[in-house]
Structure 1
């Protein structure tokens, strides 16, 4: 295994698209037997295709161009040929993007973008949400990790590739998109309407938590963007200056981003005893990347993660666990272990191609499996409540999944619906009345749009309360024990 320090590795995040990884100049030098790069443009090496194969392609092109029942442009046929080659890979992370789409792809790394604020990928042939960004329109509308997207604006996603689906989801600020989803635990699909907005990429937030007269710093990293590493290291320095008893790094719901940011964030937290990341190429050759750091921090550290933690988040979590010895608290992560290289073609279109696997410091490939936490902790049931999609007012004697969702929300808020099976009972009606009294809204015992909105607002408020976060509480408990 070769070992070196990363200079320009990056993971790119197609926001409301796939999480992928790609490499800069240092690793690219090793790929010249596959692709020559000149001025950033990829060109095929002569000899990769036989004369017979080239002639077969020319014949097919001419046949379709000259004889198909409808006229097709040369550009359409060439793009279709490239898309066909990429689709043959059966890899959702390898995609072809025309010049316009490639430009939008690059814009997702800027300081803000317009959309719904969710990461989408393909898993087992299904279009699924990796995670909505915290505070995003997608999160506020009730979308959750692993929701399967069935339709966008009433049109089935069947037959769409990842880029096509992504472009349908994204759109201008103020416009809306209707997304039909299938969610585990629900028999019927949900239709969620999301109002697009400008999504600022403010990726690092810091807060404090105190227990037994000791203060701990919590650094929440929502994605890995251009300034994430700088902001993260500043937060570390600020917390150290305040002499906190330990630090918790929170990458829950973080779908990935620039790996160059991960590299800068990890290096000060691990030593050179192990590589914090390994890259395995198609020939099996593995390259390790190591920190130059001589010693660990003098205080305990823990990482929070969940099923919405993907790609770059998993690289960080694995590095801190296996190379740093730090505990992971929460749920098993998403499971994405491949890396991609965007290669620009002569007309500014791009192929984002899977070029390698990434392995953990101990050589584990987590693709499709995720990373298991050191300590598994599930959040309270209210964290998993389904938001209401009312088509009519809910009232006594009704029996459906909307009633079930309302009962779960009422129970999570401390009211007593009597049952949580979807049947609107007398006790459920009483719980609704009690809630309406507490919220100072019209007391009817029925759930209309006003009551539904109040329920959702209260649920979000409870989720955001630090004292309800069981995963955070466990992380603090672990740091407290390690600091004794």
Structure 2
């Protein structure tokens, strides 16, 4: 498998699951009036107004010496120094600012420049919890039913509370074919669920296109890597050459990527002079990026959901405000900051990735922690959000639990309607289970054991992946069709 494109987001979905945290990166090809750059190095943040005093340095040195000479156990020098750096960064209360020691920085560099193995998901740390931002499409994480905003409580029995992102990621590392047993907490579910994910090669092609009926094109962007703009241009030209009359751009579950790449993609659609995005520094100075494009003579609709983050939100905001396109789907993730890396400044192979700027929509809206609201809200069918079953016990009649509720949602999604989806295992639910078991050559017990649960989960994933059941895509196509007919 090949990792297509060098992506500089904190996106280590490699062997370590995802040491990424939605980093929107400014590269050397992007120019801002207040950003200082040097060839081959990261953008530099504005100079601090004050530094450490002699008294500050003395306190730090004294603390180190006391630990080294008085603490009950011998402590590793590097561990102390790294802990001090992490301590300073933790006080910033910013999940997107992280320190990577030499080993972690090397793994980060390797993971963004080559193929990798893992479960394929983007994660962040929020209020001390490791949270799924989005699973990569087609990845083991997606196939296992992991969803955006799931909280990872433990990995293979080891709790993640209180760990840094890198420490948590280290718990999830492992080679292809090994299992990561994740204990998850999902919004709307009271009970924790267990999901077993088998690590695999992650093949990240970033752009996929197809021509839908009525000459409506569809381009899906899965992340914004260095080659994504080129691939988008190629696919767009191909669709245009076939007489495309309208375009759907799908950035659902796209965690983001490179700032200059999303600008290059959006630029041709925005008329010259209009802002594509604005970036604001710590002094409040804003620098817009004006388009040099000519616009397009066909309508565009953008598909978004709660897993659309960072660069995806820049694209969505630009199309909504600068192009006048309709957004269809769900409110986006809400990540409105820009990070830069400081590996050269650290000088020893370690790296700090730090939030340095805000980005704002063309009209100056900061969407951080709010997201972008679609023009046409569309929720997917209820079974799209059904949690995997815990499989801790066999589900039986006359019981009530979150597992039963999720099982009922799945049954309804595959055409075996129970009389309710509130979590009570009723007699009609028993009949629905028996009908499902009969069709799938399972013992008709009316109870949901591990075999029935696995079959049911597999069946519902097939339904979720079928474009015929994608209500958001259907609505986006309808919007384009209505515009074409005008």
Q: Say yes or no: does 1:147 pair with 2:146.
A: no
Say if 2:452 is the partner of 1:454: no
| Structure with greater strand share of residues | 1
Deviation at 1:125, TM superposition (A): 4.1
Q: How does 1:268-347 map to 2 (within 5 A)?
A: 268-293=268-293, 295-344=294-343, 345-347=346-348
CA contact (8 A) 2:154 2:160 kept: yes
CA separation of 1:109/1:28 partners in 2, compared to 1, >3 Å: closer, same or farther? farther
Aligned pairs for 1:150-299 within 5 A: 150-210=153-213, 214-293=214-293, 295-299=294-298
Distance 1:110 1:169 in 2: 21
Q: Distance in 2 between matches of 1:38 and 1:262?
A: 21
How far apart, in 1, do the equivalents of 2:166 and 2:320 lie? Answer: 33
Distance 1:223 1:91, change over 3 A: same
Q: Matches of 2:8 and 2:386 in 1, distance apart?
A: 35
- Note if 1:384 corresponds to 2:382: no
Residue by residue, what CA displacement relative to the aligned partner does 1:239-286 show, whole Å, maximum 9, x if unpaired? Answer: 101112211000111111222321221112212232111110001111
Give the superposition deviation at 1:228.
1.9
Matched residues in 2 for 1:440 and 1:428: separation? 18
| Counterparts in 2 of 1:324 and 1:377: CA distance versus 1, 3 Å | same
Matches within 5 A, 1:382-461: 382-461=383-462
Q: Is the 8 A contact 2:233 2:265 kept in 1?
A: yes
CA distance change for structure 1 residues 147 and 113 in 2, over 3 Å: closer, same or farther? same
Assess, with a 3 A threshold, how the Cα gap between structure 1 residues 387 and 208 changes in structure 2: closer, same or farther.
farther
| CA shift in 2, pair 1:447/1:39, >3 Å | closer
Spell out, residue by residue over 1:131-189, the C-alpha distance to the aligned partner (whole angstroms, 9 max, x if none).
11111111111211111222222222221112221222232211111221111221111
Q: 2 CA distance for matches of 1:120 and 1:422?
A: 30
Conserved? CA contact 1:9–1:22, under 8 Å: no
Q: CA deviation at 1:107?
A: 2.8
Residues 250, 305 of structure 1: 8 Å contact kept? yes
SS at match of 1:421: coil
| CA-CA distance at 1:10 after TM superposition | 6.1
Distance 1:174 1:9 in 2: 25
Which residue is 1:360 aligned to?
361
Q: Which residue number corresponds to residue 136 of structure 2?
A: 133
* Corresponding position of 2:470: 469
Describe the SS at the equivalent of 1:13: coil
Contact 2:302 2:316 in 1 (8 A): yes
Range with greater deviation from structure 2 (446-455 or 86-95): 446-455
Please give the per-residue CA displacement for 1:15-55, whole angstroms capped at 9, x wherever unaligned: 323111232346599466xxx97974989999732223223
Count of residue pairs the alignment pairs up: 470
Tell me the alpha carbon deviations over residues 212-260 of structure 1, each in whole angstroms, 9 at most, x when there is no partner: xx12111111122232222211111111011122110001111112223
Supply the distance in 2 between the matched residues of 1:9 and 1:275 (Cα, whole angstroms): 25
TM-score by length of 1: 0.91
Distance 1:342 1:136 in 2: 27
Measure the CA separation in 1 of the matches of 2:40 and 2:264: 27
Q: Is the 8 A contact 1:280 1:358 kept in 2?
A: yes
Moved more, 115-124 or 388-397: 388-397
User: Quick check: 2:145–2:461 contact (8 Å CA) kept in 1?
Assistant: no
Cα distance between partner residues in 1 of 2:50 and 2:305: 47
Query: 2: CA distance between counterparts of 1:474 and 1:24?
Result: 36
Q: Report if the CA contact (8 A) 2:7-2:224 is conserved.
A: no
Q: 1:318 to 1:39 in 2, by over 3 A?
A: closer
| In structure 2, distance between residues paired with 1:372 and 1:84 | 36
Tell me which moved more, 358-367 or 418-427.
418-427
Root mean square deviation, CA, Å: 2.5
TM-score (norm. length: structure 2): 0.90
Matched, 1:85 2:88: yes
Say if 2:129 and 2:160, in contact at 8 Å, map to a contact too.
no
With over 3 angstroms needed to count, the CA separation of the structure-2 counterparts of 1:29 and 1:166, relative to structure 1, is farther
Unmatched segments (≥5 aa) in structure 2: 1-5
Matches of 1:11 and 1:395 in 2, distance apart? 46
Cα offset, 1:92, TM superposition: 1.0
Select 2:11's aligned residue among 10, 13, 18. Answer: 13
Distance 2:132 2:52 in 1: 38
CA–CA distance in structure 1, aligned partners of residues 352 and 235 of structure 2: 37
Structure 2 CA distance for aligned equivalents of residues 379 and 111 of structure 1: 34
Structure 1: gaps (5+ residues): 1-7
Aligned counterparts of 1:405 and 1:353: Cα–Cα separation in 2: 40
In the TM superposition, what is the alpha-carbon distance from 1:399 to its structure 2 partner? 2.9
Q: Deviations over 1:386-413 (max 9, x none)?
A: 2222123333333322222111111122
